[in-house]
C-alpha cells in the first residue's frame, strides 16, 4: 500500500524542523510530512489519549495518528517505549550513533544538547559569573535584591524536559536542593518555553537562567545577542531528543524513512544549520556542531543522559509526587 504521508508529533519548534521537513519531502516527493508542534506533556497526553481511543483496533492508513514521536522529554519517551508503544526498527544509521543513544532499536537519541546557565552580559558586567551550582547558589544569596524576580528556570510541572533535568540533577547529589532553595528565595520565575526564557534574558528583562538548553542559547549568542553560556564545572547534563516509531503507526514504512533521514548525516547537518543549531548526535561527521566540538568549547564535564531504562525511575508515580512536593516547597523560598 502506498503511504503518502508521515505524521510526526514533536516538541521541536516547527521553524527549527522546517529545513529537515523540506529536504525530506524533496527526497521523497510522494510523502508529505504532517508535523504537529506540541509541548512535551501535551504530546505525551495526546498520544496516550488517541491510543486509548483506538482500543484494540489499528488506525486506518489515512488516520491522523502519530507515526513518529520526537520529544525532548526523554523519560516520558522511554516510559512509552517500555510500556509497549514503540516498534523495533534496525535503522541502517545506527553505526553512526554512540551506544548510549539507542535502546533496543526502539528509542533513538537524535541530538546532543547541554543544559547550561545563561546570563545577560550587561547585567553581570564587573561580576564573576558562577561556574558551578554551588557558585550560583552563593551568588543568589549574596546579592539577593539584584536577582529577585530576575532569574528563570523550567516549570517542572509544565515542562517535560524541565522535570527530566531537575530529576537528573537531584540524582547527582544534594547540592541541587541547596540551589533550588536559593532559586526559590530569589523569587525565581518559571516557564515551560526554552526560547521564551532565553529571549527574555537577551532582552534584559531577565538576568539569568538555570538548566536551559544550550543549543538555543548558543545559536542566539552567535547571532549577536548580549548573552553568554556557562557549562557548570561540577557537571553539565546533556540531553537528547528521543524519537521512536509508534507500534501502531498507520504508515510504518514512511515512518522508517523519516527516522532514517533524521539520523542520517544529511538530516543531522540540517538540524545543525537550523535556527537553533541542534548539535549532531553522530560520531562520524565533520560539522562544527558536533559533540566533540561542543566538548572542546564548553569543557569536558559533559554527562550525557543515556537513552534507556535508567530514565524510568523519574516516572515512578510515588517518586514523582515526592519530588514535586519537595520542589514546590523549595520554590516557596
pLDDT at 276: 65
Q: Does the pLDDT of residue 68 top 80, yes or no?
A: yes
pLDDT at 275: 63
Give the single-character DSSP code of 305.
P
Residues forming beta bridges with residue 115, ordered by sequence position = 213
- Cell 522535570: give the residue: 163
Q: Does the pLDDT of residue 193 top 80, yes or no?
A: yes
User: What is the rounded distance in angstroms from the CA atom of residue 40 to the CA atom of residue 155?
Assistant: 12
Q: Does the pLDDT of residue 151 top 60, yes or no?
A: yes
pLDDT, greater one: 208 or 13: 208
For all residues of the chain together, what is the average pLDDT?
92
Rg (CA), the chain: 20
What domains can you pick out in the chain, each with its CATH number? 5-112+240-300 (3.40.190.10), 113-238+312-331 (3.40.190.10)
What would the pLDDT profile of 208-248 be if each residue is shown by its tens digit? Answer: 999 999 888 988 888 899 999 999 999 999 999 999 999 99
What would the pLDDT profile of 247-277 be if each residue is shown by its tens digit? Answer: 999 999 999 999 999 999 999 989 888 666 7
pLDDT at 58: 84
Q: Please give the sequence-ordered ranges of beta strands (E in DSSP) within the chain, or none if there are none.
A: 5-10, 32-37, 68-71, 102-103, 107-109, 113-120, 151-154, 189-191, 208-213, 227-230, 236-239, 242-245, 302-304
Amino acid at each position: 500500500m502506498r503511504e503518502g504521508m508521515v505524521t510526526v508529533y514533536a516538541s521541536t519548534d516547527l521553524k527549527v524542523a522546517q529545513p529537515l521537513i523540506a529536504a525530506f519531502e524533496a527526497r521523497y516527493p510522494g510523502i508529505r510530512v504532517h508535523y504537529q508542534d506540541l509541548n512535551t506533556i501535551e504530546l505525551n497526553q495526546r498520544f496516550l489519549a488517541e491510543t486509548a481511543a483506538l482500543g484494540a483496533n489499528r488506525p486506518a492508513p489515512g488516520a491522523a495518528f502519530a507515526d513518529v514521536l520526537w520529544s525532548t522529554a526523554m523519560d516520558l519517551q522511554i516510559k512509552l517505549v517500555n510500556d509497549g508503544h514503540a516498534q523495533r526498527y534496525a535503522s541502517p544509521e545506527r553505526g553512526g550513533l554512540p551506544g548510549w543513544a539507542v535502546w533496543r532499536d526502539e528509542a533513538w537519541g537524535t541530538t546532543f544538547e547541554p543544559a547550561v546557565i545563561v546570563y545577560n552580559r550587561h547585567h553581570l558586567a564587573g561580576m564573576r559569573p558562577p561556574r558551578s551550582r554551588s557558585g550560583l547558589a552563593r551568588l543568589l544569596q549574596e546579592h539577593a535584591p539584584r536577582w529577585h524576580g530576575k532569574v528563570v528556570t523550567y516549570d517542572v510541572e509544565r515542562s517535560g524536559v524541565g522535570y527530566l533535568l531537575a530529576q537528573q540533577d537531584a540524582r547527582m547529589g544534594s547540592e541541587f536542593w541547596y540551589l533550588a532553595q536559593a532559586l526559590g528565595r530569589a523569587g525565581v520565575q518559571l516557564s515551560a518555553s526554552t526560547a521564551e526564557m532565553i529571549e527574555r534574558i537577551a532582552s534584559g528583562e531577565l538576568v539569568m537562567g538555570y538548566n536551559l538548553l544550550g543549543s538555543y542559547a548558543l545559536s542566539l549568542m552567535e547571532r549577536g545577542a548580549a548573552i553568554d553560556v556557562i557549562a557548570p564545572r561540577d557537571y553539565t547534563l546533556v540531553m537528547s531528543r528521543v524519537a521512536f516509531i509508534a507500534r501502531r503507526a498507520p504508515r510504518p514504512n514512511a515512518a522508517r524513512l523519516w527516522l532514517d533521514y533524521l539520523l542520517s548525516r544529511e538530516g543531522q547537518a540540517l538540524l545543525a544549520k537550523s535556527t537553533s543549531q541542534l548539535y549532531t548526535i553522530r560520531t562520524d561527521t565533520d560539522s562544527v556542531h558536533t559533540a566533540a566540538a561542543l566538548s572542546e568549547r564548553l569543557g569536558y564535564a559533559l554527562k550525557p543522559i543515556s537513552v534507556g531504562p535508567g530514565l524510568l525511575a523519574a516516572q515512578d508515580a510515588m517518586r514523582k509526587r515526592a519530588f514535586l512536593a519537595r520542589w514546590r516547597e523549595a520554590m516557596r523560598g
